[in-house]
Structures are given as C-alpha cells and as structure tokens.
C-alpha cells in the first residue's frame, strides 16, 4: 500500500504564493468542495501549463483525496490572451471558438467523467470564454456538476451577471476533431464577496510582516 507523503506537493522549484495557500486552505474547509471527485486547471493561452495553478490543484487534490493527478484539459495549439483581444471581438458569440479550436480533453479521462463532480481552477476570470468552453466540453461528457474557482476577476463597471454560452458539441473531444455549434446565451446573476476580498488584503498584510 502506498501512503501519501507527509507534506502536500508544490510546483517544481516554485512554492505557492501566500494567496494560493489561503485559497487551498479555504477550499479544504468548505463543504461545497467535499463532493468534488476530479480537479482540473483551465489551460493558459499556450500549451505550456501554468505551474502555479497546477501546484494549487495538486495541493488541493492531495488534501481532498482526489483520484488522478493527470490534466483533464490540454491546450494543443497556442492562442491569443483574451485580455489582449479587442473588446468588439470578445463580445461576439463565436469568439469562444478560438478555445474550441485549441483545447481538447486528455485521453486518460476518456469515458471516465460521466456522473462525476469536477472542479476547475483558473487564475483570472475576464469574460468567462475559456471557462465556458471547458464547461461545454464537460457537459458533453455528461458530468454531474461543475465548480469554477477563479483566484480573481477583472471588474468591468457595474457588472452583475455572468453569460453562459451553450453549445452543441459533436466529434472526438479527445483529439480536437470536434465541432461546437452555438445554441444560445443565458444570463446568470452573481454577487461579489467583499468579505473574501478583505480577507485576502489582511492575509497579504500579514505575509508582508513575515518576510
């Protein structure tokens, strides 16, 4: 029998930041995450994985006894960063296609996600296009529930809603040889947690005294 190591894993050569430690601790003590069975990271704009987010995912997976360390999503073709694209482009319904044309699922999860609860980590939520692509891919796998954890969000004026972009996907999700057809948009209201924002500020102040 292989027992877990006495300490959770960290990214290679790069410890988790104070804020990510705080996030992993908060998740481990939140009942909403106790049902999560698989943990994933939203791919960056390049095929190179985000080491810090991978470290957070592995840290939390270890704490929550997650089953597989392998990545669920793979960016097989580089694309532009969303925040560098023009606003008029990001507002188009087909803008999400750039993610469908460059992201696929790992073969290790083929036919193994149905009925599962999946948590996806992302660093910053801009317009939600990346997550919507990932959500649609997971919905196509018939997962039971999807939870998104975003470390931060770019505020845009008086923004109080999240736009879900529903697609129908046909083809091989594991090779990228699939087509995603836009169906409709659905507006979902959300609220920001100011208490969490203050907690992060307090944590950063505390960390500054410990250095």
Q: Read off the pLDDT of residues 41-92 as tens digits, 9 standing for 90 and up.
A: 999 998 988 888 888 888 888 888 877 889 999 999 999 888 778 888 887 8
Cα separation, 184 vs 166, whole angstroms: 5
pLDDT tens profile 145-202: 999 888 766 555 555 678 899 999 999 999 999 999 999 999 888 766 666 555 555 5
**0.75 exceeded by pTM:** yes
- By the 8 A CB rule, do 131 and 96 touch? no
Cα separation, 89 vs 97, whole angstroms: 11
Residue 79 three-state SS? coil
pLDDT at 13: 40
pLDDT band at 9 (very low <50, low <70, confident <90, very high): very low
pLDDT at 29: 78
Average pLDDT on 119-124 reads 87
pLDDT at 162: 84
Backbone angles phi, psi at 210, to 5 degrees: -95, -10
Cα separation, 26 vs 128, whole angstroms: 23
Q: What angle do CA 67, 20, 55 make, to 5 degrees?
A: 45
Cα separation, 93 vs 97, whole angstroms: 9
122 DSSP β-pair partners: 150
Cα separation, 6 vs 114, whole angstroms: 32
Q: Where are the beta strands (DSSP E) in the chain?
A: 38-41, 73-75, 103-105, 117-125, 145-153, 161-172, 177-189
pLDDT of 14 over the 60 cut:
no
DSSP 84: G
């Amino acid at each position: 029998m292989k027992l877990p190591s006495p300490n959770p894993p960290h990214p290679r050569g790069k410890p988790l930041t104070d804020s990510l430690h705080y996030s992993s601790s908060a998740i481990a003590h939140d009942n909403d995450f106790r049902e999560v069975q698989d943990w994933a990271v939203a791919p960056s704009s390049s095929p190179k994985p985000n080491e810090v987010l991978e470290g957070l995912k592995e840290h939390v997976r270890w704490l929550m006894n997650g089953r597989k360390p392998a990545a669920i999503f793979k960016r097989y073709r580089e694309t532009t960063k969303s925040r560098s694209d023009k606003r008029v482009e990001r507002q188009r319904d087909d803008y999400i296609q750039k993610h469908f044309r460059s992201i696929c699922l790992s073969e290790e999860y083929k036919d193994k996600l149905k009925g599962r609860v999946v948590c996806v980590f992302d660093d910053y939520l801009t317009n939600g296009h990346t997550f919507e692509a990932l959500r649609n891919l997971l919905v196509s796998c018939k997962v039971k529930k999807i939870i998104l954890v975003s470390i931060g969000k770019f505020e845009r004026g008086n923004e109080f809603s999240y736009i879900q972009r529903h697609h129908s996907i046909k083809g091989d999700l594991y090779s990228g040889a699939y087509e995603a057809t836009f169906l409709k948009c659905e507006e979902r209201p959300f609220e920001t947690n100011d208490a969490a924002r203050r907690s992060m500020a307090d944590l950063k102040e505390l960390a500054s005294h410990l250095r």
